[in-house]
């Protein structure tokens, strides 16, 4: 199964990998990107964001946002996260 098949579209620019994507994920992983960017991202991006989602103490979401060069930045999200 392609990773894109496991991603839920939350909005036009928010995509979510569920905690069932990888064993040990404590929170869903949210990717902030267009559909084209989500489809073009390297599989390593999904591996990295799902690894962040397994970290002890993480709450709500692990966030992934591309920069202007389309590199993905991974951030754990606390309960005050604006991307709820």
* 58 belongs to a structural domain: yes
Residue 83 domain-assigned (yes or no): no
Query: Would you say residue 66 lies in a domain?
Result: yes
Closest CA to 24 of 73, 62, 77: 62
CA angle 81, 57, 26 (to 5 degrees): 85
3-state SS class at 83? coil
The predicted model scores a pTM of 0.76
Q: How many domains does the chain have?
A: 1
Would you say residue 84 lies in a domain? no
What band does 66 get if pLDDT is binned at 50, 70 and 90? confident
Give the per-residue pLDDT at 10.
96
pLDDT of amino acid 56: 92
47 in a domain, yes or no?
Answer: yes
The residue ranking higher by pLDDT, 13 or 3, is 13
Q: What is the mean pLDDT of residues 15-43?
A: 92
Angle at 26 between CA 48 and CA 56, to 5 degrees: 80
Residue 52 lies in a domain: yes
Domain span at residue 68 reads 3-77
């Amino acid at each position: 199964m392609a990773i894109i098949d496991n991603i839920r579209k939350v909005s036009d620019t928010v995509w979510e990998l569920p905690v069932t994507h990888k064993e040990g994920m404590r929170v869903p992983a949210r990717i902030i990107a267009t559909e084209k960017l989500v489809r073009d991202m390297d599989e390593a991006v999904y591996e990295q964001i799902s690894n962040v989602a397994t970290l002890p103490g993480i709450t709500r979401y692990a966030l992934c946002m591309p920069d202007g060069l389309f590199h993905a930045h991974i951030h754990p999200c606390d309960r005050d996260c604006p991307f709820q």
